[in-house]
Amino acid sequence: MPDPRHFTTRRGFIAGLGFGAVSLYGAWAAYGAAPLPFGHTPSATPEPEAHGHGGSNGDSHGGHAAAAAPTADDFRLEHETFLRTYAQTDGSVDPHAASHGGARSHGHAHGASQGAPHGGHADEGHDDDGSATEPVTVFLMAQKFAYSPDLLRLKAGQAYRFRMMADDITHGASIQLGAASRIIRLRPNIISEQTITFTKPGEYLVYCTVYCGQAHDAMQGRIIIV
Amino acid sequence: MDTIPHDAPIMAGSGLTARIRTLPRPDKALLNLLFGAALLALVLGLADGLLTALARAGALTFFPDDAYRLLTVHGVSVFFYWLYLIQAALLLALAAAENSRGLALRPAAWAGAALMLAGFAVSEWISYTGTPLLYDGSPELAVDDPRSVGFFALGYLLLSAGLTASAVSGIATLLQPRRRGEAEEFGAVGFALFAWAGFLIVSAIAATNAFLPGLLWSLGAGPFPADHGTEWHILFHNLHYLPLMATVLVWYVLTRHLTGVTSIHGARLSKIVFAAYLVFVPPTSLYHMFLEPNLSEGVRVVGSLLSLFVSVPTLAAFAIIVSSLEASARAHGATGVFGWIRGLPWGNPAMANMGWAVVNMMVGLTFAFVLIQGELAPMLSDTFFVPGYFHLFAVGVLTQTFLAALMVLLPALNGGHLWRPALLARMPALVTAGLLLFAAAGIAAGTMGVPRRVFDVGYGGMAPAAWPVLMALVGIGASLFAAALSVSVYGVVRTLLSGRKLSAMELPAVDWKAGQNRIGAAPAWTGPASIAALVAAMYVFTIAAFQLIQSLPVAVIGGGHGH
Amino acid sequence: MKNDEVRLMLAIVAVWAALAAVYALVPSLGMPGYVRVWGGGAVVFLLLAAVLTLSGRRGDGGEAPRS
Ligand code: HEM
Ligand SMILES: [Cu+2]
């Protein structure tokens, strides 16, 4: 027997309406954001990290990062070395500058990691088209209420592997890029990694976006891109 | 005229108010106590919310610790005590009304109230005097001040224990008619109350999971709760659904009270929808964690997809209510596509609050869906986008809906009358206007990167010039909605305190109840049209956000996972 | 009807228990809190389903607290 109701007042139609917003999937798919969204995936995830931190531990990345990944203390050491190697007289840090220790970076991360526990990135980026695509490793540590380094000098068009960690408690290390920002959240003792290429020269604000105490608003740094 | 032909307005006062009126005295006393405490929390929270907004707008300056203390008191008062005291009170009131003989397990209900009030006192005190921990009480902010962490956790634990006791009383009350053999099954509202009460208990488990470690640590009886962030997210996610479920439930109750209309789709569908709230809670919980550095990629992918389902129960309930209303109105002769809406009893402040709450929900949902996309999280999470949009829910939807319920229940409870209904009926539109300004400016500010929880966004001159301008607009919007909301709250408080000076004055209502055979023959396009408009808006803002994030002068690959 | 109500409760239990099980069995997801909360929630709703069944049967008003 025919339902005397108009279809807009029938049960099935009403239940279907509940799923209306699921159709936003279409917009996501159009931007390649479904079904495989990519955020930044830091090195502490249990996922295998193809290029994460090669070197000596390369074979143990099968899924259990805990044993193989560099520890927070490794990070602190590498970060120290990075600062010592590339600190400039004006207080900035420039991974492209001749280091005080005499080593050059060759546009690689090697210099930064020299002497650090897990060595260089030997097996990485064999595509041979020079330093422009070879990411340079940069370290950024957040702590109450400052960044270290708090002034980085980098180059446009160059990829940088930002290795970041909060030293004490949770912080942000977000980068203001003009029309919007790149929001980054750092948990204490968990190493986050993102490969970032700045495409436009300029001076960019680095600021804390996770409440961390009294001087939270004062927590800022700068990245100068030339 | 495309509306309902002069249907004789009937007096509201149907079953609900009659049953509230005849509740036993001790139950009335308990409900008055809980309603009063909830309103006190709201008043405290509103004052601190306005101060926070003015400080963020640059109109007021505080020492940093004081500013964060205000923000803490604001979040704690409104998000925890206002929302949960009022939910416990509404659960008990509506359950008692369903049962029509008052509360069962009354001692549990009183113990619950006592525990919640104790929690309220502890939380307010430590929020005003301790290290400012904000409403999530992250222990890492006070490693050197275990006392603050401990008392903060204690407050919430007392609240949870009290909620559990209240929910147990509510459940027993709902079951009483069956136990007496007077009823075979629940109505839609009874079932919803039952499920909601269960959910309150689950949330108390989640709160215990999140806060007990902090309490133990502060007593030297446990390790430092390093995982607070994750545990908080679980609780926080529950706390999104709970009040929303309560809101939809109140809409059911008020729709019936104000128009006589119940679902034309049968109680069964409504029960399924309310159960769907609970089915969808856990699977959709991951989107709060997109920025967490230790969230695995697989979880992120699945989390984003599942969160698309987050609105299913709410939109289904919306569609049920709107189609039932529209079909009933048409059965009573309403014409015109949207004309029937004008036939609703807008002169009743409860109707006005509920109606504008629906508008706020549609706008809020639009932006909620921009935020659940994992790839946009690195542009929007932790920014003012988040408070910018969620006040549409917190204030526009939840607070206005619960105030609407109070506007109906309080006069019934105490025999007084609602304070200046004509004035109160005008407030929701003003609240919404203020919220829309607050949200528009706040969402724009957040999209540009203005962080949440920062009072001075100057950054030594390095911040974009638009930031302070947008935050000033946020302050103007906040002042507007705070003022209008204060009038509503004042009206409700006056009503609560007015006692039984006057016999209840009947407020406008309509009676659109219609026989099942007459109903639904005419099309009812309002529901589908609203949802289509909602989806269109979601597309527009999602696409705009994608365009923006792609236009930024950086290329980012997360940790070697390019694809 | 009444059985519907119990069935809906059990549906909730099933989904929650399944999720808790996933988080319990795949520890690399790293969220043991999910196991406690969703697992505990499954137990709560299981109890509610039981109470619902029992109070329906006991139509004589046996233990109902008087008010
Ligand atoms: C007069 C009304 C209100 C005003 C002016 C107001 C304003 C604000 C402002 C400016 C913030 C600060 C955001 C930030 O800096 O991150 C905030 C935070 C918040 N508001 Fe409100 N609000 C009001 C009412 C409410 C209500 C009724 C609720 C909930 C029912 C609510 C829930 C919250 C929450 C949960 C936060 C986040 C606190 C935090 O981040 O620690 N607000 N509010
Ligand atoms: Cu910080």
Per-residue pLDDT of chain A (226 residues), as tens digits, is 456 788 887 888 888 898 988 889 888 888 877 754 444 433 333 333 333 333 333 333 333 334 456 789 999 999 999 999 999 989 899 998 865 544 444 444 443 333 334 333 433 333 334 445 689 999 999 999 999 999 999 999 999 999 999 999 999 999 999 999 999 999 899 999 999 999 999 999 999 999 999 899 999 999 999 9
DSSP symbols for B318-342: HHHHHHHHHHHHHHTT--SSSGGGG
% of chain B beyond a pLDDT of 70: 93
Which residue range(s) make up the domain with B511?
A: 250-264+273-455+462-563
Predicted pLDDT of residue A68: 58
Residue B443 shares a structural domain with residue B553? yes
**C66, pLDDT greater than 50:** no
> Which amino acid is present at A126?
H
Assess if residue B231 is contained within a domain: no
pLDDT recorded at residue C36 = 93
B235 found inside a domain = no
Say if residues B284 and B244 touch (Cβ distance below 8 Å): no
Asked whether residue B11 is domain-assigned, the answer is: no
Higher pLDDT, C32 or B389: B389
CB A55 within 8 A of CB A121: yes
* Residue B450 within a domain: yes
> Which residues, in sequence order, are CB contacts of B437 under 8 Å at separation 6+?
B473, B474, B476, B477, B480
In a domain, B419, yes or no: yes
A67/chain C closest Cα distance in angstroms: 13
Shared domain check, B255 and B161: no
Dist. CA B360–CA B437, nearest whole Å: 12
Same domain, B28 and B85: yes
pLDDT at A56: 33
Torsion of Cα atoms, A112 then A117 then A120 then A124, to 10°: -120
Query: Quick one: average pLDDT of C39-51?
Result: 95
Mean pLDDT of B263-291: 84
B199, B288: one domain: no
Distance of residue B238 Cα from the nearest chain C Cα, in angstroms: 10
Please give the DSSP secondary-structure letter assigned to residue A210.
S
* ipTM of the complex, rounded to two decimals: 0.89
My answer on whether B93 and B149 are in the same domain is yes
Residues contacting residue A178 through CB under 8 Å, at least 6 positions apart:
A202, B464, B552, B553
d(CA A18, ligand 2 centre) in Å: 41
Q: What is the CA radius of gyration of chain C?
A: 16
Kindly give the residue spans of alpha helices, DSSP state H, lying in B372-465: 377-380, 385-391, 400-414, 421-424, 427-447
Same domain, B300 and B419: yes
pLDDT at A63: 36
User: CB atoms < 10 A from the CB of B446, how many?
Assistant: 29
Option in A36, A177, A190 nearest B553 (CB): A177
Q: Which of residues 26-55 of C touch A (CB under 8 A)?
A: 28, 30
Question: How close is the nearest chain A Cα to the Cα of B503, in Å?
Answer: 40
Give distance in angstroms: CA of A110 to centre of ligand 2: 29
In chain B, how many domains are there? 2
Q: How is B483-503 classified by DSSP, letter by letter?
A: HHHHHHHHHHHHHHHTTTSSP
State the pLDDT at residue B500. Answer: 63
Distances, alpha carbon B216 to alpha carbons B76, B127, B158, C40, in Å = 21, 19, 14, 21
Give me the pLDDT at residue B14, please: 56
| pLDDT (0 to 100) of residue B184 | 82
Q: Considering only alpha carbons, which residue of chain B is nearest residue A17?
A: B316
pLDDT at B503: 55
Euclidean distance between CA atoms B44 and B175, whole angstroms: 36
Backbone angles phi, psi at B383, to 5 degrees: -105, 180
* Between residues B332 and C12, the one the model is more confident about: C12
Residues B126 and B189 in one domain: yes
B73: in domain: yes
**Which range has the top average pLDDT, A207-211, B1-5, C53-57?**
A207-211
Beta-carbon contacts of C49 under 8 Å, excluding residues fewer than 6 positions away, are C6, C9, C10, C13
pLDDT at B498: 81
Q: Are B142 and B149 in contact (CB under 8 A)?
A: yes
Q: What is the pLDDT of residues B354-404, one digit of tens each?
A: 999 999 999 999 999 998 888 898 999 999 999 999 999 999 999 999 999
Domains of chain A as residue ranges with CATH: 53-225 (2.60.40.420)
CA distance B123 to B361: 29
Whether residue A42 lies within 8 A of chain B, CB to CB, comes out as: yes
CATH at residue B177: 1.20.210.10
- Pair B198, B171: CB distance under 8 Å: yes
Quick check: A86 and A99 in contact, CB under 8 A? yes
Range B251-265 average pLDDT: 91
**What are B433-470's pLDDT values in tens digits?**
999 999 999 999 999 999 999 999 999 999 999 999 99
Q: What integer pLDDT is reported at residue B274 of this predicted model?
A: 92
CB B71 near ligand 1, within 6 Å: yes
CA distance B182 to A53: 69
Q: Are residue B332 and residue B279 in the same domain, yes or no?
A: yes
- Amino acid identity for residue B189 in this structure: V
> What dihedral angle (degrees, nearest 10) is formed by the CA atoms of A205, A209, A211, A214?
10
Structure confidence at residue C17 as a pLDDT band (50, 70, 90): very high
Q: Which residues of C touch A64 (CB under 8 A)?
A: 28
> Quick check: B5 pLDDT over 70?
no
Q: Which has more pLDDT, A27 or B33?
A: B33
B465 touches chain A (CB under 8 A): no
What tokens appear for B383 in the block?
A: 């920014």
Averaged pLDDT score across all residues of chain C? 80
Q: Residues A68, A43: contact at Cβ < 8 Å? A: no
pLDDT per position as a tens digit, B183-225: 888 989 999 999 999 999 999 999 999 999 999 999 999 999 9
For chain B, the straight-line distance linking the first and the last C-alpha, in angstroms and rounded, comes to: 59
Question: pLDDT band at C6, cuts 50/70/90?
Answer: very high
As a whole number of angstroms, the distance between CA B382 and CA B289 comes to 11
**Which two three-digit tokens encode residue B343?**
């036939």
